[in-house]
């Protein structure tokens, strides 16, 4: 058992059951309609107990709230005890620096380390939990204080420091078919006062009132999408709405857009996806911009402006507070070149998406706030970072974070972003820069023919200049095709685009398999060499978008149906990949980019009827 998991236990007439380890529990998962409040129904026929959890993050308070309803399904009155356990790993590191304390005046338990404070509490019938225990987990041979629930009685130990956890108890005699209702919450703050203020506000308002306020907020937030949602085919409509809400759930108030909040990959990887990749963020924003959302794009561009390197580029990835995230990209590269450890497409796509945002809204104050401070330095840097011989962007890491090369997708993104930067310059009456950036973009387009492999009828994944000679990576990569098409490096009806698409279909047997990997022989989470690689939902949806461009709606619909079938049925959660050998989704879930690409494809599907 993972000791850092917050356990839930229930004891009925002397028998204790842990919900995460007792296989007699059967679960159903869903969301409230048009609201990101989950409903988890847990039934244990052996214990004759039904539990309904309604969980949500409060939309105004820094709090997680869980409203719990326990129903006695037996034909007699029973002694029921609910145990709620807390095992925080504060600061993403297991250490011996945490403290947990019982707060008698607040009837709550505080966990803290430095400027991170969490207060756990709850009530039943307007009364607080009746017992508690604070202890250690994962060190000194101790499993955790949750084991104190084994006998149904807690030790009432009220303080501990180190690798700490805590548990609280709610106890009630419940008659047949009657309910035991518990309101549980965790408030958070950067100091004790802030966390206690949130705790007291929940007590004052009531947890169910906070739930109703949260439902109303979500339904209000969804209003820009309501008319469009009515045009979405019924088989996709609910998934469209839930995918939008999932995207919103991964957007921090700071403007950072997290790739995924799923940290389960830490069991096998060195790191998780809890970062803001500017590229992901830009793609994720696209459907929101098209639907008319304003706050989320605006905050993201403010985040990028603040995070931007003084030279005008964006780093590999960022934490939600704007600090630079971990990276495996060096400054000194394998070929001896010294260059920033970045992926240039991330800078380009922020410029590209800001232009979409500006031209959608046409607010002059957006130019006043972002043109000189972000667009101009980014476009100037991209213009300066061009190979004099090839007239193409210099090497940087590709969008899949693997190779320091001149990548076709990156070239496409830089080309389009410089064109759009030129248009922004014209709107800002900066004619000089408009000419410079447009000229740079046009030179890239003229030089781009070198990126197409006439023999194999496919775009090269990348090229590299070594001792004045070019080397070519002929790997079939969907992003090379998509970037060239999406960003207009080659016209949508060109022979290069059409033949590359046919090569992709043939290579991956796409019309039979429907889904496609990122590229041929993609080993990321691949379980054997007997197939080309796991199918990525993002790359598969890119093909659907091209089918829609060609008005082959039926082919696009096959992909949309396939992607929809791989979602979690009740929650619409979409993972990063699907493993055809194991017949299951793999890697993180949700992947925010997958959800947003699904929404974007549905918007394409109803165009020009909608957006």
How far is 351 from 359, CA to CA, in rounded Å? 12
**Domain coordinates in residue numbering, the chain:** 8-219, 226-251+509-611, 260-453+467-487
Residue 607 pLDDT grade (very low, low, confident, very high; cuts 50, 70, 90): confident
* Residue 135 clears pLDDT 70, i.e. is over it: yes
| pLDDT 10s digits, 144-185 | 898 999 999 999 999 999 889 999 999 999 999 999 999 999
Concatenated DSSP letters for 363-385? -HHHHHHHIIIIIHHHHHHHHHS
Question: Is 536 or 146 the better-scoring residue by pLDDT?
Answer: 536
Q: What is the mean pLDDT of the chain?
A: 95
CATH topology of domain 260-453+467-487: Glycosyltransferase (1.50.10)
Q: Minimal CA–CA distance to 18: which of 78, 87, 82?
A: 82
Token digits of residue 437: 């950036």
Strand boundaries in 22-62, DSSP class E: 25-31, 38-44, 49-57
Q: Compute the residue count for the chain.
A: 611
* Residue 100 clears pLDDT 50, i.e. is over it: yes
Token digits of residue 411: 């070239």
* Residue 94 clears pLDDT 80, i.e. is over it: no
CA dihedral 134, 137, 142, 148 (to 10 degrees): 40
* Residue 267 clears pLDDT 70, i.e. is over it: no
Mean pLDDT value of segment 271-296: 96
| pLDDT 10s digits, 403-452 | 999 999 999 999 999 999 999 999 999 999 999 999 999 999 999 999 99
> What is the model's pLDDT at position 1?
46
Whether 405 and 463 have beta carbons less than 8 Å apart is answered as yes
Q: How far is CA 189 from the centre of its chain?
A: 23
| Beta partners for residue 390, in sequence order | none
Residue 270 pLDDT grade (very low, low, confident, very high; cuts 50, 70, 90): low
Whether 411 and 349 have beta carbons less than 8 Å apart is answered as no
Mean pLDDT value of segment 191-203: 98
| pLDDT 10s digits, 223-236 | 999 889 999 999 99
84-93, 111-120, 165-174, 556-565: range with lowest mean pLDDT: 84-93
CATH number assigned to the domain covering 8-219 = 2.70.98.10
């Amino acid at each position: 058992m993972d000791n850092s998991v917050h356990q839930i236990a229930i004891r009925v007439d002397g028998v204790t059951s842990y919900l995460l380890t007792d296989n007699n529990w059967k679960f159903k998962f869903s969301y409230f309609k048009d609201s990101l409040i989950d409903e988890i129904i847990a039934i244990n026929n052996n214990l004759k107990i039904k539990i309904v959890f309604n969980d949500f993050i409060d939309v105004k308070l820094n709090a997680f709230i869980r409203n719990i309803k326990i129903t006695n399904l037996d034909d007699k009155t029973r002694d029921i005890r609910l145990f709620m356990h807390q095992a925080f790993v504060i600061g993403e590191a297991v250490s011996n620096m945490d403290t947990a304390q019982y707060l008698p005046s607040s009837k709550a338990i505080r966990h803290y380390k430095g400027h991170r404070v969490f207060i756990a509490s709850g009530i039943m019938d307007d009364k607080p939990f009746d017992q508690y225990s604070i202890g250690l987990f994962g060190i000194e041979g101790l499993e955790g204080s949750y084991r104190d629930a084994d006998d149904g009685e807690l030790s009432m130990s009220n303080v501990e420091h180190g690798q700490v956890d805590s548990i609280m108890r709610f106890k009630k005699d419940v008659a047949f078919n009657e309910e035991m209702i518990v309101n549980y919450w965790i408030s958070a703050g950067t100091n004790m006062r802030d966390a206690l203020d949130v705790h007291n506000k929940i007590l004052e308002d009531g947890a169910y009132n906070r739930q109703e306020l949260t439902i109303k907020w979500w339904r209000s937030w969804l209003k820009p999408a309501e008319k469009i949602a009515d045009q979405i085919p019924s088989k996709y409509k609910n998934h469209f709405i839930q995918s939008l809400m999932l995207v919103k759930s991964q957007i921090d108030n700071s403007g950072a857009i997290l790739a995924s909040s799923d940290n389960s990959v830490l069991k096998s990887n060195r790191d998780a996806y809890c970062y803001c990749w500017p590229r992901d963020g830009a793609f994720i924003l696209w459907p929101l911009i098209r639907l008319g959302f304003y706050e989320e794009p605006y905050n993201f561009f403010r985040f990028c402006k603040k995070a931007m390197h003084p030279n005008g580029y964006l780093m590999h990835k960022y934490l939600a507070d704007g600090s630079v995230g971990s990276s495996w990209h060096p400054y000194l590269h394998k070929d001896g070149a010294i260059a920033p450890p970045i992926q240039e497409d991330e800078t380009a796509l922020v410029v590209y998406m800001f232009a979409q945002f500006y031209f959608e809204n046409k607010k002059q104050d957006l130019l006043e706030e972002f043109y000189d401070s972000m667009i101009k330095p980014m476009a100037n840097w991209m213009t300066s970072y061009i190979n004099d011989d090839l007239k193409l962007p210099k090497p940087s890491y590709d969008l899949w974070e693997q190779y320091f090369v001149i990548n076709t997708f990156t070239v496409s993104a830089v080309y389009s972003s410089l064109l759009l930067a030129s248009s922004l310059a014209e709107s800002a009456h900066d004619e000089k820069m408009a000419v410079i950036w447009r000229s740079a973009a046009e030179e890239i387009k003229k030089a781009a023919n070198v990126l197409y492999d006439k023999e194999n009828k496919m775009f090269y994944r990348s090229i590299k200049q070594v001792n004045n000679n070019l080397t070519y990576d002929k790997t079939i990569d969907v992003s090379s095709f998509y970037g060239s098409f999406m960003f207009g490096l080659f016209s949508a009806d060109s022979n290069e685009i059409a033949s590359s698409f046919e090569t992709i279909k043939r290579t991956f047997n796409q019309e039979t398999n429907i889904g496609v990997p990122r590229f041929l022989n993609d080993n990321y989470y691949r379980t054997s060499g007997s197939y080309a690689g796991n199918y990525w939902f993002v790359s598969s949806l890119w093909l659907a978008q091209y089918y829609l461009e060609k008005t082959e709606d039926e082919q696009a619909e096959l992909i949309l149906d396939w992607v929809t079938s791989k979602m979690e049925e009740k929650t619409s959660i979409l993972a990063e990949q699907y493993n055809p050998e194991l017949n299951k989704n793999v890697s993180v879930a949700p992947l925010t980019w997958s959800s947003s690409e699904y929404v974007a494809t549905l918007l394409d599907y109803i165009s020009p009827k909608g957006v």
